[in-house]
Structure 1
């Protein structure tokens, strides 16, 4: 790299406490060099975005010492690298100060003259394999990046990535090369202090991996005022094309560019970039080679036509890998050409698109896991194992009888992953192909098949596999991971009751906020056995309300108001299950899926009744009675509640599709809900005239305010919030039901319970009965009109019992259909989930804990 002192008084490193200009930086480096000793030595540095660490790193490079950059936030990785390579010097931060630990006088290693830098591959694979880089590699890549990004001396890049990560390190190299400034911080982009620092120091750029853009979506990045921002770079994994286009368009409007890049640690950092002017039309590609580099495609026998392995050539290609300290003395083994392991194709306009991988690596939580290395490590423990990558998990099949917990621990250590990210399957024989080779696709299939296996009831902490299987079964999902939550998998009010009951049975209790808690955290608590269980208040309200509705219709008693309480419960559950942290489009997808699960069974039932009896108009089967039906009361209005829920949720979902509304809701969820309460009161009090007849209490637009009150109840996080909602309930419900005081009391009481009481203790049997009634409440409502009418006068209690029974049976029938549909989609050719690789034949049978090939003892 160029001599830094030549940039004079220009700022180089900026923190909240100081600004170091280039002249001062050069002086600090010069003072640091003697502390590293004479002669070339292997220097391990714990990389952090800290002034003194960067000064020490640059001093080591300028003095010719090979630097091994270690993660500064992972003591285990640090200890592993020290044990594997025995560095001569270890440099780390201790209580805010940089400490130099001299472990050897001179050097214990034979170091090749070209060796300058050692990096772990893609973060960490848990193995001691390192990428060996030369000064030429580092210099040429920094020059290429500075050229295509047009980095200027006036630029100021704010650090968003760790220094030990090749992407974060390339930001440091390329900006120091051009005399630009680095604004050093460890704050997240979700922290307001990050953006205050960005604005205060006139930040012009920052770098992001795909997850960074998920965080930007959550904080309303498109509304931030960043007047000096010139460009954002993205690498570290594939960013969805639609998100690339969205951010590129946002940048076009706000005056900055998005630069999508592609690279690997083995190429120092970058190999390709997509020019900003091409993002709108070529967002699915990695673009073109960086200046000084080139691509070619090498044919692969089993790759699709037109694709091949992407081979990169350029001066930034590493010298090779190091597996042991002896490899530090080896020179260039690749001669400037890198087999990326990615399958790609080239478009007619010279741009490249990556379409898959050909080597045995797995990406788990963004880390590239060397599967053969993990298998080799397990072999060293006397295990015969085969590994595959799953959805954010490592799948390990182990032959013969072993302790699964011990295997998980060993695989976790070998891969560098947490234990919770490893799934172990004990098999009698490893699945193999017809040629006798390990069948990796069959190993991956073990995890997918296990999702439908019945869950065991553990006696200590719940097995994450059992919880995953439970979620997969109830939510009809094929992609369930330890990081999944009930909300993220599209859970809604129809499925949450069954899920909560079975989860409580599995765990022994129901954790607070279980619906937004990742599976891995649910499974950590030890199993608890209780005679009494807790039932969520909204579950109890649904169970009681449906009994009140049916019983009142049968004339067993007159306790009306249950349906209007259910409107509040619907709003409460809408807020809980559809207004999480997911992106706007994901929210919409889950909401529409939930509406479908309400509308379709309703339309099927009502349509069947029309076909058999001709009792209703076709508008009822289409759920259009509220729009096209008669003005006065008629039998078609029996299903007003279903129509109201469908109409209301669709309208709210449409509003939340508006970016501005979505941002406001995320920033002020409670007051946004109260705003909808205020809008609902316009029709409730007739300020916006909708229906002057008695049907007004059944009209979706008039009863909407009750749904909004439930929504606000769910978003109440303080006592003042709850008092505010309660005050509105008490003030607005009276007078709505034409003087029916008993109904008003029931509605006020039900809604206030929703506001103030989250759960109630009850005996196990009562809990289960309430769960069944709540789960089947929609179906009981749909079917009870056809059941009770012939029996109401002579056998009212029988009418109630049969109404409930038929509703429960219809609920079970719908559940079976959904489960079969999911299994058909999973098994039919061409219907695999994106990213999955279903084998053409089943090679193993699966039980909950042990699996084996056909005919084997399972």
Structure 2
């Protein structure tokens, strides 16, 4: 494989830009050579768990350069890895181990298979991930397609492309091949383009190329891509499905104004990656066309019954056409069985020589004797302003439409009228997100499931997780394409959600809250009986209020010997919340004297605000979720404190209204008992109002690290009370501690060592003096916030994680209630006072949860 063999020819040029630094072509070639030597000279079948990481790429290139055929599979899908390992019995399995270290599991020193000398790569066909049917690609296929793509895109050694698509997906892999061929750089990332950190990496690496499927462009629209300043961007490429012509034209015009080119491309896995492209200068005027064949390729139109002479099935020929399919290990010995590729797409050639796709031959369905083209239905709905996926479902048409609930009837009638079908055979389901495969392509099987659920005795894929999300978030609209943040999840339910998921799925990725249920499900299929009796039911059921679940889980974990041998990880923010609330209450009880954790929790509040509230949702939904979170904090707090005002003499009405910090009622200890809750509510109210301003919301999405850093600077004005706004207790004043909240927000957005080091420096220089001469308290806050900045997770054990989960998720309510518990027990029974305070707080959390789920207003 020439481009894999010739890496060293590019010398010291940057090959990879990773979160850990740059890797030159010389260094990459050396690492590839070492791994190739490890794989040996005897050809073996290598199953590779694909990932946009240095280890995965090195292993892939090493196998290619040494002549070992690679079976490339999704690295985040345990089910696929298991099924293809069982089906093809690979000689070597390359993947991370349980601790994340890259391993080569050499199962056979030679090979259990007869491998054809031309065989280089095995990929799943589009939509068949995990199926034993694979596409067989040769060394010539890969090299020829890489050269063709690099030629028409004009890639050179000054380019840097981000890996916005999965490595195991042929489109994503072609980005890697074509750039390595030219000595260009790859920005290795697994982040979504909706993630602010992605753009920080892209800016820092001076990215020039961005690749996307239609769903990628949906995300770009949401985050305001057209307003981004990307001075080094040269080209945006699109493939993986049809992008609406008006959007092609719009992005082409955007590129013209911004100085980059849009390449719309057409391809299939069976053609290695690409078969056609639309020259950028034609994108605005001919956005409906797929363009011309790539260099070295050609098209012809095969007549199809029922269509006029101008249209036919598109048939492609070129050096990138696959060797053929493999459906069993015996097929790995086959040579070429395919000379040209029948695409299954219906096309025509326009008078200007450009090809246009007009339908999909294999997607035609017969319903009540009528021949229906689902793609035509999708286009029809698109013209009416409705994005939808359509699929044949036996004797009915299944439609998933991106629309509001209640619109199904209108959409059903529109389709029936246009197609001549009775409405009863058109099944429509309104969804918040259209179902997509991991590659971003439409998931038509999910469309059929959505509109025609399986019988109750047959569980749907990821059904247990859907029910778990519905239960904890109290939502009835959960689907497999929902994520924690898209459902409005916040820090109050994040803890229980993460621990329940970890118990079910094992190790969780740090960005699990932004991933869809479908993506989480592919990592590890839920084991039977792991979800507290939720297993074995056919579809989502009405959420049930089960506020004591976390307590029961904690008790089970502590009494189960096996759980003490189960290693887990615990998010640092959760560990700090759990430890912090125990130390805060214990210090008030005077069991011990460890102060400072309330200020650490202010930083954690900012950290969680950035993670759960500043999502990529549309502005109205984001603001609505913000006010909902404010209500979930303020209302239970005001209810409890009002009771304390009525039943005791320690508090003023200003406390019940959360106004003590503003009115400065006095300097008594109990006057300031709830300063933390007041500060948090003030911060969130002001920020919710600011984020409701479209201009400010756009600025935050564009400058994801810069905005909180600027707010840290503004907060320092209050930290040093330069405007004389601090109260009688300055270290408890909202104006003084806001800078810590902003620092936590910035910590959640920091993605480079330089950014984290900057925040650490700010912390070290600005915190001293806040607590006057309390050096231990200062050191504790620095250590806690420093952990938040630098260490995302900590090692743990099952029982400790379960206990931490209960305490962390109840921390706000423990803080609220403990002032009314410990004074009555403190003098004679201090340990009992501490324990009782924690128990009452956990109980109040359970009551609030039950009430909220019953009345559905929080």
TM-score normalised by structure 2 residue count: 0.48
For the pair shown, which has the larger CA radius of gyration, 1 or 2?
1
